[in-house]
Amino acid sequence: MDASESNAEVFRKFVIRWFRNIIAAFVLLSILMVLCLRWVNPPTSSFMMQRRIKAWWHGQAYQQHYQWVDWDQMDWQIKVAAITSEDQRFAENWGFDFGQIHKAIEESKNLKDMRGASTITQQTAKNLFLWPAHSLFRKGIEAYFTILLELFWSKKRILEVYLNIAQFGDNIYGVQAASRYYFHTTAARLNKSQSALMVTALPDPYDYDLAHPSPYMIRRRNWVLRYMNKLGNQAYLRRIE
């Protein structure tokens, strides 16, 4: 083996070792972070921080509405409404709804609009740790964090964090801030109709304005109200508590 080949082999081994160490550090730190957040309430989320940085970068005024509220201070109706709208198999799945994923793929092949196939766990992983752009790379990391959340958190904790960091409007995050902003009440005092309407904004809080609900949002609210009854209303929560 000549000197050039020897140097190339040394460099290759260095790159492999460096890459392996980076992956190991990422895995270790991500596990520690997820474990910590099992008990510590997140003061912010990746989506919130990115929105704040974007406003700062463009010299824009920024006012964020966000206030953490514990599980026991949320009315049961907003919990069931979120499950009904976003992930009806939440209590059973392991963070992935493969039936919905298959339907989404088939619809995309038929040139239809891509349906949402993300579970509540996936949305929590994305909002808490990642960024909004769509790519296979991001979806891969999202899947990794989804598995970590399902391994180390309870379903109750996943839903609690989700409802606290989900975006309900422009710079409005979490059910407490949304309850105060749109309904002048608290998450503990939301009624069933308000809860069902609130979750209609979750797919796209910029297009679905809770202050001025569209006819589609009203129809969606009514659908959520019907299916909350079919899921068993408050009795459903006993499956995750």
What are the tokens at 169? 């409007």
142 vs 64: CA distance, rounded Å: 25
Beta carbons of 105 and 68 less than 8 angstroms apart: no
- From the list 36, 22, 238, the residue with the least C-alpha distance to 149 is 36
Record the pTM.
0.89
Supply the mean pLDDT for the chain.
Answer: 90
Report the CATH number of the 38-239 domain: 1.10.3810.10
The pLDDT value recorded for residue 5 is 58
Give Cα 108 to chain centroid, integer Å: 22
**Secondary structure of residue 173 in the 3-state scheme:** strand
- Is the pLDDT assigned to residue 150 strictly greater than 90? yes
% of the chain exceeding 70 in pLDDT: 90
Choice between 7 and 163, residue whose per-residue pLDDT is larger: 163
Q: Residue 146 contacts by C-beta under 8 Å, 6 or more apart in sequence?
A: 95, 96, 119, 121, 122, 125
